[in-house]
Amino acid sequence: MILKRLFSLLLNCNVVVVATSNRSPDTLYEGGINRSLFLPFIDMLKHKFDIISMEDSPKDYRLATRADGQSYFWSNKDVDGDNNSNNNMQAQLEEIFGGTASGTEAEVIQVLFGRSVQVSRLNDRCAWFDFAELCYQPLGAADYISLCDRFPVIIIERVPQLDANHLNEARRFVTLIDACYESRTRLVLAAQVPLDELFVDFEARVERNDEDGELIVSEKGGNSSSFATTMIRTRQGEYYEWSATGRIGVSLAQLSSANDLAFSFRRAASRLVEMGGKQWGRH
């Protein structure tokens, strides 16, 4: 709603507007609540603006980077285990951490808005975290940017596979990756799965709204919930309950944001490949 007012004002003032988006006009706010109120903005975009698609090339140039910088390690057991694979991974993490400087006492990093982040394991160039410390806590972009400003190297261990059961943690992790990418901070990850299995795609595709306003989806939802239960109809005309947890772990009201997160997963995985190159980082 704000976008339409903003763009209308800019055009009325004869301002030349150049905008970028990860979405084509017709897919903006797809699946959103009361999207019909947003459609006039899409019509205005298509009528007033020259729409230029940058998707003609299927090649992801970030994936062309050779990930040879030893920034992603994985083992299907906790790093505290005593098997050879875990011991080797832990030794490499120690080498990355210890090779930067000597260790110091815990430090409190000041963040905008009067917040702070405590770093328990660090030296003058590297901070070492457990995934839970950064992504199970209520942290956001400002916190991660402050950490990137302070440390050229960040190590995170015990990174789980991110799926519909880790929506909030996945959002924070994607935000952290973006902060590291923009600041060229070296991000070293010790995960429980290979990189190509780190982000699980759990999109639900909205095909259309029929005349009665029923949501038409391609898959059925989960069990009923005391918080929200919505009846949906499939293409075959069958009715199912879509619960607050549902197939993708969220309610229909959050379907659009969940799909946006799945989109962000693909971008984050692509960025992690690029960030794994030897030339990546602040030198």
Domain boundaries, the chain: 2-48, 67-199+257-275, 206-247
Higher-scoring residue by pLDDT: 228, 279: 279
Q: Are 172 and 166 in contact (CB under 8 A)?
A: no
Lowest mean pLDDT among 1-10, 106-115, 126-135, 164-173: 164-173
User: How many residues does this entry show for the chain?
Assistant: 283
Q: Please state the pTM of the whole predicted model.
A: 0.68
**CB atoms closer than 10 angstroms to residue 258:** 23
pLDDT of residue 157: 95
Q: Which of 196, 171, 98, 180 is nearest to 144 (CA)?
A: 180
What values do phi and psi take at 215, rounded to 5? Answer: -80, 125
Please state the rounded mean pLDDT for residues 94-102: 76
Does the domain at 67-199+257-275 match CATH 3.40.640? Answer given as no
Lowest mean pLDDT among 14-18, 107-111, 122-126, 197-201: 197-201
* DSSP helix/strand/coil, 108: strand
Q: pLDDT digit string (tens) for 2-25?
A: 888 899 999 999 999 999 988 889
Q: Is the pLDDT of residue 241 over 60?
A: no
Higher-scoring residue by pLDDT: 243, 258: 258
pLDDT band at 263 (very low <50, low <70, confident <90, very high): confident
Please state the rounded mean pLDDT for residues 157-176: 88
Q: pLDDT digit string (tens) for 119-145?
A: 999 998 999 999 999 999 999 999 999
3-state secondary structure 187-224: EEEEECCCHHHCECCCCCCEEEECCCCCEEECCCCCCC
